[in-house]
Amino acid sequence: MLAAIYEDIDQHFAEMVEIRRYLHQHPELSFKEFNTAQYISDFYKKIGIPVESKVGGNGVIATLKGKLPGKTIALRADFDALPIQDAKDVPYKSKVDGVMHACGHDAHTASLLVLAKIMQKHVDKLEGSIVFLHQHAEELPPGGAKSIVQSGMLSEVDAVFGNHFWSTLPVGTIGTKEDVFMAGADRFTITIRGKGGHGAYPEETKDAVVIGAELITKLQTIISRKVSPIDTGVLTIGQFQAGTAFNIIADEAKLQGTIRYLKPEVKETMKAELFRIIHGVCEMNDADCDIDYQDGYPPLVNHPNETEIIFEVAKEIEDVTNVLHSPVQLAAEDFAYYTEYTKGAFFFTGAHKVGHDHPHHHPMFDIDERAMPIAAKTLIGAYFACQAQGKEE
């Protein structure tokens, strides 16, 4: 049966491409994906699979119940886009100014929709249920996964699997790892309030730019002197905004950044040191400050059995040429909330487009669409592997 499904997936490749390119032309930002959510919901209504909309916000969940007893397995795809101007010269270029799918979520969605259409034809032979989990707002904390979990809609799910197309891996590669796979990520905003004035009379001011520059330098000592070299931590200042003219000393500066970590105790050390250094530098310079610290996604932890399922399923897929034990990634994913809630695993599907060497979140980002059938096969293969384990148990 699985071989026939794999063949059917290949035969529906053109439909996957068509859906992906439509979504690529009509992206929507996190928490604003109303039309995309409606498109997904309408698709399921058209093919006759029961669907629930507005789950935890803009989430959409369709459930295909098999005729035979078995486990309930969720397969997840996210569908939000990013505030980036699409710079590609392609027929499917984004039609929305300043918004594009620069991370592959359009392809995640297309793969899962077509897979659902294929599996609906096999419902009489299916065991348990397949939950097609379409999630909004992966890109922007607090994310969509947390609210979907809190909705209670996954209470009967025995395991969950998710895929991310990875533009730095060749097509034909499946990569994942057991235990911590992706980092936890928090964000913070620091507002420094000094005293502005004329650039010719610095002694009369409290220069917010100088204070901010000193702060950036001091914050880097958290990694070099407060986190063990054995552990992993990242602190990045991504924005530094201050000043209005070349000859005016700024009275205010705003810094924004992120903390990345693999262990909760490392996060707590970094967070505490961040606050201590900020207050210390501002007090030393007789300036005031505000700190807005937002706890983001926790580390994504893959469960051992479900990770092994991905490895074993991938080895049996003809299109997969490399099954990779991936290194840990310092990028973050709110799929972490699902594997906190139930058993599951997240994996990468190689989608590098030859001659198009642009990373995720880049204005020229694109994928090799041949990766979509591979992801669909891996996801449905995991569903069947879980059902087989249920028989063995």
Task: Establish whether 138 is a catalytic residue.
Answer: yes
Radius of gyration over alpha carbons of the chain, in Å? Answer: 23
Q: Which one from 28, 106, 127, 138 is the annotated catalytic residue?
A: 138
Q: Name residue 288's beta-bridge partners.
A: 193
Strands 252-261, 184-193: parallel, antiparallel or unpaired by DSSP? antiparallel
Q: How far is CA 49 from the centre of its chain?
A: 26
Residue type, 371: A
Task: Establish whether 8 is a catalytic residue.
Answer: no
Residue recorded with tokens 């903390």: 259
Rounded CA separation 65/8 (Å)? 20
Rounded CA separation 144/353 (Å)? 29
Q: Which one from 8, 28, 80, 334 is the annotated catalytic residue?
A: 80
Q: How far is CA 20 from the centre of its chain?
A: 18
Long-range contacts: 388-392, Cβ < 8 Å, 24+? Answer: 389/305, 389/309, 390/70, 390/71, 390/127, 390/128
Q: Known catalytic residues?
A: 80, 138
